[in-house]
Structure 1
Amino acid sequence: MHSVVAFTDTYLPTVNGVTYTVHSWRDRWQARGGRMDVVYPDADGYEPENGEYPIRSLPFPFYDGFRFGLPRVPRAVRNVDVVHAHTPFALGLGGLRLARREGLPFVVSYHTPSSEYASYLTSRRRLEDGIERLSESYERWFLGHAAAVVVPSEATRDDLRSRVGDDVGISVVPNGVDVDRFRPVDATAFRDRHGLSDSDTLVGYTGRHGYEKCLSDIIDAAAGLDATVVFGGDGPAREHLEATARERGVDARFLGFLDREELPAFYSSLDAFLFPSPVETQGLVALEANACGTPVVGVDRGALSNTIEEGVTGYHYDLGDTEGFRAAIERTLDETAELERRCLDRRESLSVEHAVDRLADVYDAVTGSGA
């Protein structure tokens, strides 16, 4: 098994899709006898394990909870076969520096289009457009140094290829779901703990509350439905969401950050998971919900067009179509039992083990070995 070092701008104790992917891949890789070190921004609340190297970091002023790690390479990182960057910024540049200095294969995971976050830097449309163009130009430069670019879905591969061309080798490696953890569970204790009635119909979302995820569309679609909307997680858009729910008279509960151990019960408590984000590169939380038997109603845009199987694991609606969103929720609630069965039939295909199998193929290809 190859020795790998991963550079990431987000890691524990922060919980998000990138953190989960890096950590779960590391666990599985090391369980197979390989080595995967992780270089990440230091943060209070997490004690690093062997092979995890926190780097001095600073708060990022434009995005609460995100820390900016200095692009350094720890001296303890040595004797590796592959450098894998999970970010094009900060620590990703540290990974690129190491790969170029040592002549090592450089692999990049494309988790999020950086241009999507231009709105966090400015509210001026012309300046935002300029930042987006600059971000895309920078991405092309960074990805151009990669021996392989890893994306989590076919839709993301096609979108990225349309912007960077065919000179960059792109491989699809789904993030994968820990199906041992994410499975249907008895959610009674979870509902009781959070004051949610067993008799209520529950729909909801968990994850980062970012403006780019269009979460207010959930509030708009839920107006008039006989259902309680449950939000797990936190982020810069939370205050706006709470105010919107009050204005629309929607019964919405905001649970805040949920420990990862609580998520299977969260998903299992829902009758439908709602996902209006048009910027997903895979939509890992949708797959986690499906693994727990919960169907997903998601926007027919980006990776969610493929992540959700129409009429099998949930239903789609068109971006901006509030009535269509509401109708898709109602249809899902009418068919919950059948959709749950179909979701559970596909659990094993979502496994992180399959993802790590594909990751191993990528590492073998860039190193020119089958080791």
Structure 2
Amino acid sequence: MKQFLIFAGKEFRHIFRDRRTMLILLVMPVVQIILFGFAITTEVQNVRMAVLDPSDDVLTRRIVERLDASEYFTLTARFHTPQEMDEAFRRSQVDMAVVFSPGFADGVYTGDAAVQLVCDATDPNTATMQTSYATGIITAATGELLPAGVRAPQLRPKVKLLYNPQMKSVYNFVPGVMGLILMLICAMMTSVSIVREKEMGTMEVLLVSPVRPIFIILSKTVPYFVLSFVNLTTILLLSVYVLHVPVAGSLPWLVAVSLLFIFVSLSLGLLISTLTQTQVAAMLASGLVLMMPTMLLSGMIFPVESMPWVLQGISAAIPARWYIQAVRKLMIQGVDVVNVLTEVGVLLGMAVVLVTVSLKKFKNRLE
């Protein structure tokens, strides 16, 4: 028994000396419970709501106030024409619009009043919950705001779904899966490839060649760039011809944005390779550490707007979030490239930062 306790104590000391093991054992569960607890939610909050109200009477204003006062919707815009509303949806400035018929207050008593809920259905689950919440609030508010003793036909809003009227869930998952696959393949394979040379001691042999170190490192990423382009082509072909997800926007711009994201992912793998010394550490960093934030915080499965503001800030640093947003706009919504300039600018900035930091760290390590 004494020998057993001695060996157990020795194992405890080994674990406590290894910081990476301590992080996995003690810190990772804390991170996971926080992410899963706050990021995974079926509730819809902070929905950007707009109103098109040609009537602008007391009843419509009260209904809009009820919607805005709820925890689900936030009034962000008022439109005067349907063209303004369409442009706002194309620019992804609103998530749902409430459209009232002219003479709404008078039409409530005669049954001629109508309300339409226009919703972005690129994420069908979110769209369903948004329209369900709004329908309940509007129906209840209309009945409560009528004078006592006055009866009127029950008002049920009509729903118009944009970009995905069939409510196909594959329209939502294809852009997310594209971001996840390209991120993991590019980052993981690049980081392992370079670390393998360092771990085997052959990197120094390559560095004494007449070729500059930067070209040696970048040349190791070229095969993965080409293979990732092949993966991208395969994914798009399967999406269009097997899953029947149309490319509603510009295919060349979709490919261009995807290539930019591939370069960002390769740069991230290059950074991981400069910060790790073993293939196991590189695999953990590029696979385990990147996979969970990409799945939970990029908007791939759960809407970012429903997360706490801290997690929304963290998600802004995840390249896949911006790529998935751009793919949904170009592939599903079919908007012009000018509407994805924000996403393209963020990805370009990330690429510059990652390459700069990676090359600086790499030189400092090998000098």
TM-score w.r.t. the length of structure 1 is 0.21
**Based on CA coordinates, which of the two structures has the bigger radius of gyration?**
2
Flag the structure with higher helix content.
2
Larger RCO, structure (CA 8 Å, separation 6 or more): 2
